Amino acid sequence: MIKRWFSWLGNSDNATTAKAASAIEHKGHDIIAAPEKMAGQYRVSGVIRKALPDGGYQQVAFERSDTLSDLQGCIELTQQKAARYIDDMGEQIFVGASVEHG
């Protein structure tokens, strides 16, 4: 079985999430970078979201172990990693994801 590259985004008492970047589109998915600030570094994290025909959406949150000192660089790396994940896994990333409306 392929190891899952991304884990569910968790909150920590000693971490804060930087303001989410504007979403970018990749193969019909929105990638929303939301770097997490920890100990003077930014951790790669965000959300991959896909709109559904009924107006709802599916989304998965992710967090990586990669950290950078530069917020903009972290946003760009988050977008690159999420795009590659979409390329590699396709619709499988949403297996088990709930459908949200609103």
Q: What is the pLDDT of residues 42-65, one digit of tens each?
A: 999 999 999 999 999 999 999 999
Query: Residues 101, 83, 81, 69: what is their CA dihedral angle, to the nearest 10 degrees?
Result: -80
pLDDT of residue 57: 94
- For 34, the domain range is 24-89
Could you read off the pLDDT of 7-40 as tens digits, one per residue?
333 434 344 556 677 899 999 999 999 999 999 9
SS3 69: coil
Question: Is residue 94 within 8 Å of residue 38, measured between CB atoms?
Answer: no
Closest CA to 46 of 19, 12, 68: 19
pLDDT of residue 37: 92
pTM of the predicted protein model: 0.78
- In this structure, is residue 7 part of a structural domain? no
- In this structure, is residue 101 part of a structural domain? no
- In this structure, is residue 80 part of a structural domain? yes
How would you write 25-55 as a 3-class SS string? EECCEEEEECCEEECCEEEEEEEEEEECCCC
Supply the DSSP symbol for 91: G
The total domain count for the chain is 1
